Amino acid sequence: MRVYLIYVVILWGLLSCTKNEDCGKIISANPCFDAAQVDTNGVCTEEYNPVCGCDGNTYSNSCHASINGITSWSMGECCN
């Protein structure tokens, strides 16, 4: 019975590691990066509300994406 239980737990663990469907989708934007929007002195809150930038990188919130010159994003971490 223990061996069976161990196999069930391992199988459950493997199945739970499938692709995260809740992650942010990369939105194509042309151009994705705008150097004129980069603000090296920009101040953002440290609230963690991740967004997936059109460049495929996850930013801690939309403000951080914006001051890094990213022109579009979707809510949630990027699927990597």
| 80 Cβ contact partners less than 8 Å away, ≥ 6 residues apart | none
CA pair distance 37, 55, nearest whole angstrom? 15
pLDDT in tens, 26-69: 666 679 999 999 999 999 999 999 999 999 999 999 999 999 99
Q: Evaluate if pTM is beyond 0.75.
A: no
Locate tokens 């990369």: which residue? 26
Domains detected in the chain:
27-75 (3.30.60)
